[in-house]
Structures are given as structure tokens and as C-alpha cells.
């Protein structure tokens, strides 16, 4: 059974940085898949922020975070990170880690919330001005 566990959320001032972590477990035979981070502000739908294919390639980003956020994958630790820099008030909310069934390459196929098969419980980010 695939499980995703997020951590790293917290409070930060606008302009600051946070690094979120997502530990992924339960995939068999090292099959490659997509892992993505989604953001949900209160009253809003869940929106994709960044995604990475565990088989390599170029990460993909939403326009709103490109140049500020960086997603990376550590295969040895089965962990996907989201480095968030120059945080803005609108970046506040819950951040969820999600993954697809393999094989799925998010670089070529994109990352939509309805395309994800597994979800973590989320981690909360607050940004104060």
C-alpha cells in the first residue's frame, strides 16, 4: 500500500523560506511514477504547484511558483522535497503530497489533482506579512 507522509510546514514571514518533505513508501519494484505537491487555500480548490518524475527528467511547475519553488527527489531516502522561497501571503494554506500509479511521467502528461492516485494528509503553511 502506497503511503505519503508530509512534514516541514510551519509559520514564516513573507519573503521567507520553508522546505517541505514527503516520504513515499509502498511502491514495489522501484517502478517510476510522478510525485507532486498541491496547495489548497481556505475555500479554494486544490491546485498543483510542482511535480517530479522519479525516473528523472525536468520537474514541472505552476506559473505562480516558477522561479521561487524547487522540487527534488532523493531516491535513496524515498523522499520528495519542495523548497519554497520568497513566500507570499497567497502561498499560505495546506500543502499535500500526491503520487500516481506507475508508470506515469508528469513532465509529459502534467499533474492534475484528479490524476493523482495517492494522497498524504497535508502539512500547514502560514505566511505572515
Taking only the tens place, the pLDDT of each residue in 57-105 is 889 999 999 999 999 999 899 999 999 999 999 999 999 999 999 888 8
The string of pLDDT tens digits covering residues 45-60 is 999 999 999 888 889 9
Q: What per-residue confidence (pLDDT) applies to 35?
A: 95
Q: Are 116 and 33 in contact (CB under 8 A)?
A: no
In this structure, how many other beta carbons lie within 10 angstroms of the beta carbon of residue 77?
11
Q: Does residue 107 register a pLDDT over 70?
A: yes
Rounded to the nearest integer, the mean pLDDT of the chain is: 94
Distance, in Å, from the CA atom of 129 to the CA atom of 127, rounded to the nearest integer, reads 7
Q: Does residue 32 register a pLDDT over 80?
A: yes
Give bridge partners of residue 25 from the DSSP assignment. 3
Q: Are 123 and 38 in contact (CB under 8 A)?
A: no
Q: Are 4 and 24 in contact (CB under 8 A)?
A: yes
Distance, in Å, from the CA atom of 36 to the CA atom of 47, rounded to the nearest integer, reads 10
Give the Å distances, CA to CA, from 102 to 44, 48, 79, 115, 129.
Answer: 29, 19, 16, 12, 41
Amino acid at each position: 500500500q502506497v503511503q505519503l507522509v508530509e512534514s516541514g510546514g510551519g509559520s514564516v514571514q513573507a519573503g521567507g523560506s520553508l522546505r517541505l518533505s514527503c516520504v513515499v513508501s509502498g511502491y514495489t519494484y522501484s517502478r517510476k511514477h510522478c510525485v507532486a505537491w498541491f496547495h489548497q487555500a481556505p475555500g479554494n480548490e486544490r491546485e498543483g504547484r510542482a511535480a517530479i518524475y522519479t525516473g528523472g527528467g525536468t520537474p514541472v511547475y505552476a506559473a505562480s511558483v516558477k522561479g521561487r519553488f524547487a522540487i527534488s527527489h532523493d531516491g535513496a531516502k524515498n523522499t520528495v522535497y519542495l523548497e519554497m522561497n520568497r513566500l507570499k501571503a497567497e502561498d499560505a494554506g495546506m500543502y499535500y503530497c500526491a503520487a500516481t500509479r506507475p508508470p506515469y511521467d508528469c513532465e509529459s502528461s502534467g499533474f492534475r489533482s484528479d490524476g493523482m492516485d495517492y494522497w498524504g494528509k497535508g502539512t500547514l503553511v502560514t505566511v505572515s506579512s
